[in-house]
Amino acid sequence: MKKYLAEVVGTFWLVLGGCGSAVLAAAFPDVGIGLLGVSLAFGLTVVTMAFAIGHISGCHLNPAVTFGLWAGGRFESKDILPYVLAQVIGGVIAGGVLYVIATGQAGFDVVASGFASNGYGEHSPGGYSFMAALVCELVMTAVFLFVIMGATDSRAPQGFAPIAIGLCLTLIHLISIPVTNTSVNPARSTGVAVFVGDWAISQLWLFWVAPIVGGMIGAIIYKIVDGEIKEI
């Protein structure tokens, strides 16, 4: 159970830290952290938890990472479902804590604010289409898994993987927040969408399918580049 509990705690921190920065601090009067701050916050959650629980669970914090590592031959299939359940539970708990904090401000409307939910079309921060959101989430998650596979390779410099992975997630957010509010993580998307309901739930499927497919593609591409797969 230790590794599952570690995934609950780690994903809790990722959603609370990342989405919390977006909901509470991004546009705070005069000292708002903006998109740069939110991007950095997501990266920092991964760095801090990778050092804290990486030796316990591997610090996936993300169903797309779990499926990607499985596709890359780095994770056993028997642990996929428990890991994903733990990640979603951690994300929803974090969403609940954030909801309690955010609604403590007079006039806060969880639906009107979007509550850091991911979306496309009229619910995309920049009004990007479904196709743009699909491609963005798929490609960004593929690159994320490519970096994770490489940074955690036994031949890579030891001890630096959390930094490389955290910086990669920061860069992904810097690129894609305007498109989808950046998911690349179904547990992160679910953790806040359940409190928004309505459109956030109806569009949630995309933020499960695209990251998981993208993650597996990225892991397989790494294996091809590394020579583990000789032919496609």
Q: Is 231 within a domain?
A: no
CA distance 227 to 9: 35
In Å, what is the CA distance from 98 to each residue of 17, 48, 116, 227?
A: 9, 19, 11, 44
Q: Is 186 within a domain?
A: yes
Q: Which parts of the chain sit beneath pLDDT 50?
A: 232
Q: What is the pLDDT of residue 231?
A: 53
Identify the domain containing residue 75 by its residue range.
1-226
Q: Is 145 within a domain?
A: yes
Q: Is 30 within a domain?
A: yes
CATH, residue 210 = 1.20.1080.10
Q: What is the pLDDT of residue 230?
A: 57
Q: Is 232 within a domain?
A: no
Tally of domains within the chain = 1
- Portion of the chain with pLDDT greater than 90, in percent: 90
Q: What is the pLDDT of residue 27?
A: 81
Q: Is 23 within a domain?
A: yes
Q: Is 50 within a domain?
A: yes
Q: Is 83 within a domain?
A: yes
**pLDDT tens digits, 162-195:** 999 999 999 999 999 999 999 999 999 999 999 9
